[in-house]
Amino acid sequence: MTVNLTRIYTKLGDSGETHLGDMSRVPKTHPRIEAYGDVDELNAHLGLALVQAGMPERYRPWLSRVQNDLFDLGADLAVPHGGDKERLRVTPDQTTWLEERCDEVNATLKPLRSFVIPGGSPAAAHLHVCRTVCRRAERKAILVEDGNPEVVRYLNRLSDLLFILSRGATEGDEPLWQPGASQS
């Protein structure tokens, strides 16, 4: 697959519509556009997470791989199924890789005894932001009527991984919810 971006502005979206990957036009509020827009936002947040203080070094190549995979998700979401061309689609192997990272890191963490309050370090806090954006992207991907179900599975597993990585990036004690702690 070759990507050639020679001109960034085209003026084709000025009317509130845009092209999908198959060149059909849809409103910019179409579920596909909403879904891959949230995936794009997640990718930008991951870029920010990567430069946060306290990000464990072993997470960096994983998060970089995820950023590349998110472009695959965007490409998948941008093209309706069908047609005569073979298109880039997210595969179960990509989701399995996330599961393996989840298991690897989770095995090193203390069992949870309460819900985690986002924070603990700059890296952990930003990974929590990534997790919440990922959950939103997942909800939007579900709304794509003929979408690849592997996209939803990938995003679901990715949000799990981001939660686990945020726990691993916490410096010191994990901030945990204490039900009713501020009530008199």
Q: What is the mean pLDDT of each run of 10 residues along the chain (184 residues)?
A: 63 64 65 91 98 95 98 90 76 97 96 92 96 98 93 98 97 89 87
In a domain, residue 15? The reply is no
So what's the pLDDT on residue 33? 83
Report if residue 20 sits inside a domain. Answer: no
Domain total of the chain: 1
Question: Domain containing 45: what range?
Answer: 26-108+119-169
pLDDT at 83: 64
Q: What is the CATH number for 163?
A: 1.20.1200.10
Please count the CA atoms within 13 angstroms of the CA of 154 that sit on its side-chain side. 26
Per-residue model confidence (pLDDT) at position 60: 97
| 3 domain-assigned | no
Do the domain assignments include residue 2?
Answer: no
Closest CA to 158 of 78, 46, 61: 46
What was the pLDDT predicted at 64? 98
Judge whether 102 lies within some domain.
yes
Asked, for residue 55, whether it belongs to a domain, the answer is yes
In a domain, 180, yes or no: no
Provide the CB-side half-sphere exposure for 60 (13 A, CA).
9
The pLDDT of residue 158: 98
Q: How many CA atoms lie within 13 A of 52 on its CB side?
A: 28
Residue 18 lies in a domain: no
Q: Are strands 17-19 and 25-27 parallel, antiparallel or unpaired?
A: antiparallel
